[in-house]
């Protein structure tokens, strides 16, 4: 039985995510939080990357009390029924749960000895570390299993790999730094043309996962985190 003290409210979830994402490191405009307030208790929370035409129908069909949106800006006025609250986090979500200095992804990939690779506004945007020695093909298969596929691969010069970089950006400087620090593979969202020369000269391999795939993975992880925090909260992910 749900009692008053066990009810979950939107500001509580926002406060928890503020701490999780460390939003104090961001400007006020970048922090996120409550996007559409609601005073109703929350039993069922939906997670989605962004609004779509049938969002309201999905929310009603799933009997949702609130929504998490990664990119909320296309949400139309009155698109949702008034009782549904919305929380939204963009940059903090990207930098905590996608291709960045992401300790949860490091655990899944088996990365040890994690170090920062690349910074933006004094925040880490990537990581580098050791993985168990394995073939490049095995690493590609692992990436595909984790993210449900990938977009593009630049094959490794050597078959065995043991050090990788995971970075939420791809520039000439970042690629050269990763190679100079011993990474044999550079994992990112999309391969970028300005880094092409650095890729060729350093002979580092690359796997481009695709931004949407990395975001969907982040949503799935976030769902698990929220379920861990609130035993009574039902979380649904729209992919």
For residue 239, is it within any domain?
A: no
Average pLDDT over residues 112-122: 96
CA-CA distance, 181 to 129, in Å (whole number)?
A: 9
At 166-206, the pLDDT tens digits run 999 999 999 999 999 999 999 999 999 989 999 999 999 99
Average pLDDT over residues 60-64: 97
Average pLDDT over residues 139-151: 97
What is the distance in angstroms between the CA of the first residue and the CA of the last residue of the chain? 31
Q: Same structural domain for residues 195 and 228?
A: no
Structural domain including 123 reads 100-208
Question: How large a percentage of the chain has pLDDT more than 90?
Answer: 92
CATH number, domain containing residue 15: 3.40.1390.30
At 217-227, the pLDDT tens digits run 999 999 999 99
Q: What is the pLDDT of residue 154?
A: 94
Would the CA dihedral through 28, 31, 36, 42 be positive or negative? Answer: negative
Q: What is the pLDDT of residue 5?
A: 61
> How many domains does one find in the chain?
2
Q: What is the pLDDT of residue 2?
A: 47
Q: Give the 3-state secondary structure of residue 33.
A: strand
Displacement of CA 95 from its chain's centroid (Å):
7
Q: Does the pLDDT at position 4 exceed 60?
A: no
Average pLDDT over residues 54-73: 97
For residue 79, is it within any domain?
A: yes
Q: Same structural domain for residues 35 and 112?
A: no
For residue 238, is it within any domain?
A: no
Which helix (H) or strand (E) element contains residue 14?
helix 10-21
136-147 vs 211-229: helix crossing angle, rounded to 10: 60
CA-CA distance, 27 to 49, in Å (whole number)?
A: 22
Cβ atoms of 187 and 214 within 8 Å: the answer is no
Average pLDDT, the chain: 95
For residue 221, is it within any domain?
A: yes
Q: Same structural domain for residues 52 and 86?
A: yes
Q: Same structural domain for residues 201 and 220?
A: no
Q: What is the pLDDT of residue 158?
A: 81
Q: Same structural domain for residues 111 and 196?
A: yes
């Amino acid at each position: 039985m749900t009692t008053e003290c066990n009810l979950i409210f939107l500001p509580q979830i926002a406060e928890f995510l503020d701490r999780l994402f460390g939003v104090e490191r961001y400007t006020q405009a970048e922090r996120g939080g409550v996007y559409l307030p609601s005073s109703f208790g929350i039993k069922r929370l939906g997670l989605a990357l962004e609004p779509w035409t049938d969002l309201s129908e999905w929310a009603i069909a799933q009997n949702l009390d609130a929504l998490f949106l990664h990119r909320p800006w296309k949400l139309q006025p009155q698109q949702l029924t008034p009782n549904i609250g919305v929380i939204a986090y963009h940059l903090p979500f990207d930098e905590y749960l996608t291709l960045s200095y992401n300790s949860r992804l490091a655990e899944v990939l088996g990365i040890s000895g994690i170090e920062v690779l690349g910074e933006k506004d004094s925040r880490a945007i990537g990581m580098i570390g050791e993985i168990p020695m394995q073939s490049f093909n095995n690493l590609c298969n692992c990436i595909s299993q984790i993210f449900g596929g990938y977009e593009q691969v630049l094959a490794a010069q050597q078959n065995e790999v043991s050090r990788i970089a995971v970075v939420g950006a791809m520039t000439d400087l970042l690629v050269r730094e990763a190679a100079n620090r011993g990474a044999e593979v550079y994992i990112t969202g999309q391969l970028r043309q300005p880094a092409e020369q650095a890729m060729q000269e350093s002979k580092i391999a690359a796997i481009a996962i695709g931004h949407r795939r990395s975001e969907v993975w982040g949503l799935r992880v976030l769902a698990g985190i929220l379920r861990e925090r609130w035993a009574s909260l039902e979380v649904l992910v729209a992919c």
